[in-house]
Structure 1
Amino acid sequence: MQMLNGNTIHHPFPMTTPYWLQDAIFYQIFPDRFANGDPENDPPNVQKWGAPPTLFGFQGGDLRGIIQHFDYLLDLGINAIYLNPIFAATSTHRYNTSDYYKIDPKLGGMLDFHALIDLAHRNNARVVLDGVFNHTGRSFFAFNDLLENGENSPYRDWFHVHHFPLDAFTPGEAIHFEGWWRHKSLPKLNFHNKQVRNYILGVARYWIERGADGWRLDVPNEINDDAFWAEFRHVVKTANRDACLIGEIWSADPRWANDTHFDGLMHYPVRDALLACWNGKDNVAHFADQAEGLLKIYPRENVYSMYVTLGSHDTERLATMLGGRLDKIKLAFLFLFAYPGAPAVYYGDEIGLEGGKDPDSRRAFPWDPAEWKGDLHPWLQALIAARRGRSSLRRGDYVRLTVDEANGAYAFARILGGEKTLIALNISDKAVDIQIPVTTLWRENQTLRSLLDNRPFTVSDGKIAISLPAWGGIYIG
């Protein structure tokens, strides 16, 4: 990495991560709550679509529903899908895997999986799966055998057993064995066991060979074994050199983003900084420093491979966090689609779906447009179209232009060769007039246009004058 011209952040080539990640617009789908395409596979006592979400109350979403609404995703501008777990499990979230080699029958089957993969690939889109390898469910074959055979089980060393007999079902925390966060329903695998390592590596290879375009790895830091992750990466990249690996790491930590671990991380620190600023808990200058600082701690290929999201199944919804304020939500997305990394939309955030802490953040998608929030959906369509139409927004260097802490204004540029895009934000409750220095971008008297509404702007005295409403923003190029 190199620093040029003060606040210009330039990352030299070559790339070592999948090139397509720089062009990716991700959409995260919680399968049970996106769309019900085949009621025949609904479990007994399925809840009404849109009922208050619970951990074990299924609402019937499935892979066929995603297939039937794929045109909706394409129309939005999506070209990459991250699916929450789709393997056999007993809960709606499916992080308690029963069978890593089987699509959950409540979601469909292998024919539906292949149909989704084929549909995505025909439309130049990718599908990334959720890999939950730190722990399993109680119905996983090896843990079942352990429960039945105790100390005589050939799988006793597949888990972290403290003493027999195991108590896996009575109320309370896991004591006889290690469970993720002490949950009895989520027994932790023992990665010191070579059989466990080989089993998980086989799972990773199997789904890549069947067309998946990568893995999002759940709590990988809890498998605190660099050698295992290096081997995991080798296995996946051998099966498909363009497969991506995204790690769920909640803090900024360069240990996990490199050529022996993951291509990118779920970049929650960006979300944290944005929400703090948008909600008045931090000022714009510090937000700009944080946004810029996060670009300096990783190699270029990893910066541009980050999965940058404003919400997920594990967080409160963006609309809820911003008090339902449409103007704040729209500005948050304007920033997201201009920031380095692969922007990601959590299903429903593009129409202003509300939701508190999980499981409330996993509400069913409302397919009636009358329930969608204002003009948020077309706004995202426009932002995504702008990003997909500008190489500088996808893979350009970042340059800070100005920060006006007193007025809440922040402007930066993305530069790739001769293509330059200016991004300006007013992170305040008052309209603001700002003069942005652009002598390093454009010549005097040059006329530029807003990418979202085609308004003209002319360089005068080395600056561009912009008037922004409260919580307004603009792309100029």
Structure 2
Amino acid sequence: MSPAWSDEAIWWHVYPLGFTGAPPTSAGAAGHRLRRLEPWLGHAADLGCTGVMLGPIFASETHGYDTVDHFAIDPRLGDDADFDALVARAREHGLRIALDGVFNHVGRSFTGDAGWLRRQPGAADYDTFEGHERLVALDHAQEAVQDYVASVLGHWLDRGADGWRLDAAYAVPAEFWRQVLPRVRARHPQAWFAGEVIHGDYAGYVARSTLDSVTQYELWKAIWSSLNDRNLYELAHALGRHDDLLATFAPLTFVGNHDVTRIASRLDDHRHLGHALAVLFTVGGVPSVYYGDELGLEGVKEEREG
């Protein structure tokens, strides 16, 4: 059962490496940039959000989704003290913290055991994630990988995180999460776990994996597509399917995130921005506002890793 606090959760979703102006690679200058988020916590609280969902903050090679050390804060963002300070300031504003965990794949410079990486028999190289050369797949069939992920999740929950967004969960066998999450919940029964799932049987994946929630991409697409086409049949159909999901879990709803073009740019008519946000906040689920969408910021997603 999902923690009671998640019933009223509203996330302000931030991609820290971009938000703080961090260098594009880990070779860039180290700094305490994570603290640049602190002055914005009041803004998130004033919006009515109850938590901040952080994009990747762990040591990585480039965009954050090529993690090399899940136990270390990316030097471009700071260190453990900066994380602790952010959590403390968030608490002062009544905000929870969710972290972005990338456990389907890792960067080429991963500091963990190379034996945890997946390789087909006789293959010269490791398996990669969707053909991205720099993103190497973990072998989720190994008990050692389950142990590693459980320890990472627990470590940051111990340090003050309240939940996790699990990146590319759709690429990870549901049974993996079924093995890992109960171990973490045994120590952190109030933790919340949402998986990134794009297509397919949302309710079935939640049931098999024991995740609390998954991303609602079907509704996201229906919102902007219906407004652009001036045809609300797609939205009505998506809302009907969404209502069916609510019988078993509360989906993570959104009109923007780091993987898609901003809603203000996606809409053909900027006057419909308010309508898109109105749908987001009047349907059931756990809504997430991607930073800047509340201000109508524009931005077109480029086709690149991360």
TM norm. shorter chain > 0.5: yes
1:158 positional shift: 3.5
Q: Could you tell me how far apart the structure 1 residues matched to 2:290 and 2:197 are?
A: 17
Mapped pair 1:335 → 2:279:
yes
Deviations 1:154-200 (A, max 9, x none): x4353325547x5xxxxxxxxx2211112221110111222122111
- One-letter amino acid of the counterpart of residue 246, structure 1: A
Q: Could you tell me how far apart the structure 1 residues matched to 2:26 and 2:298 are?
A: 20
Deviations 1:244-265 (A, max 9, x none): 1101011252122238521111
Query: Is the Cα–Cα contact under 8 Å of residues 24 and 343 in structure 1 kept in the other structure?
Result: yes
Matches within 5 A, 1:339-350: 339-350=283-294
Q: What residue is the counterpart of 1:240 in the other structure?
A: 188
1:55 positional shift: 7.9
Which TM-score applies when normalising by structure 2? Answer: 0.90
Q: Go from structure 1 to structure 2 and tell me whether the alpha carbon gap of 1:260 and 1:89 turns closer, same or farther (over 3 Å shift).
A: closer
Mapped pair 1:188 → 2:137:
yes
Mapped pair 1:299 → 2:284:
no
Q: Could you tell me how far apart the structure 2 residues matched to 1:187 and 1:141 are?
A: 13
- One-letter amino acid of the counterpart of residue 159, structure 1: R
Query: Is the Cα–Cα contact under 8 Å of residues 265 and 298 in structure 2 kept in the other structure?
Result: yes
Q: Go from structure 1 to structure 2 and tell me whether the alpha carbon gap of 1:326 and 1:244 turns closer, same or farther (over 3 Å shift).
A: same
Q: Could you tell me how far apart the structure 2 residues matched to 1:57 and 1:356 are?
A: 26
Q: Could you tell me how far apart the structure 2 residues matched to 1:328 and 1:315 are?
A: 18
Matches within 5 A, 1:371-386: none
Matches within 5 A, 1:320-399: 320-323=265-268, 325-358=269-302
1:231 positional shift: 2.1
Secondary structure (helix, strand or coil) at the match of 2:301 reads: coil
Q: What residue is the counterpart of 1:203 in the other structure?
A: 152
Secondary structure (helix, strand or coil) at the match of 2:298 reads: coil
Structure with the bigger RCO (C-alpha within 8 Å, sep 6+) is: 2
Q: Could you tell me how far apart the structure 1 residues matched to 2:116 and 2:38 are?
A: 41
Match of 1:65 among 28, 32, 36: 36
Unmatched 5+ stretches in structure 1: 1-15, 37-41, 47-53, 144-154, 167-175, 363-477
Secondary structure (helix, strand or coil) at the match of 2:68 reads: strand
Query: Is the Cα–Cα contact under 8 Å of residues 31 and 61 in structure 1 kept in the other structure?
Result: no
Q: What residue is the counterpart of 1:423 in the other structure?
A: none
Q: What residue is the counterpart of 1:382 in the other structure?
A: none
Q: Could you tell me how far apart the structure 1 residues matched to 2:303 and 2:26 are?
A: 10
Q: What residue is the counterpart of 2:50 in the other structure?
A: 79
Mapped pair 1:98 → 2:68:
yes
Matches within 5 A, 1:209-228: 209-226=158-175, 228=176
Q: Could you tell me how far apart the structure 2 residues matched to 1:348 and 1:102 are?
A: 28
1:75 positional shift: 2.2
Mapped pair 1:19 → 2:4:
yes
Q: Could you tell me how far apart the structure 1 residues matched to 2:296 and 2:265 are?
A: 9
Q: Could you tell me how far apart the structure 2 residues matched to 1:138 and 1:96 are?
A: 8
Q: Go from structure 1 to structure 2 and tell me whether the alpha carbon gap of 1:134 and 1:286 turns closer, same or farther (over 3 Å shift).
A: closer
Q: What residue is the counterpart of 1:158 in the other structure?
A: 117
- In our comparison, the structure showing a higher alpha carbon Rg is 1
Q: Go from structure 1 to structure 2 and tell me whether the alpha carbon gap of 1:245 and 1:23 turns closer, same or farther (over 3 Å shift).
A: same
Deviations 1:92-142 (A, max 9, x none): x21111111001111011111111112222322111101100111111124
Q: Could you tell me how far apart the structure 2 residues matched to 1:198 and 1:178 are?
A: 21
Query: Is the Cα–Cα contact under 8 Å of residues 246 and 307 in structure 1 kept in the other structure?
Result: yes
Q: Could you tell me how far apart the structure 2 residues matched to 1:348 and 1:194 are?
A: 41
Q: What residue is the counterpart of 2:105 in the other structure?
A: 135
Query: Is the Cα–Cα contact under 8 Å of residues 18 and 242 in structure 1 kept in the other structure?
Result: yes
Query: Is the Cα–Cα contact under 8 Å of residues 147 and 180 in structure 2 kept in the other structure?
Result: no
* Structure 1 vs Structure 2 CA RMSD: 2.5
Query: Is the Cα–Cα contact under 8 Å of residues 33 and 78 in structure 2 kept in the other structure?
Result: yes
The aligned length equals 303
Matches within 5 A, 1:94-133: 94-133=64-103
Percent identity, aligned pairs only, is: 31
> Quick check: which one's helix share is greater?
2
Query: Is the Cα–Cα contact under 8 Å of residues 35 and 61 in structure 1 kept in the other structure?
Result: no
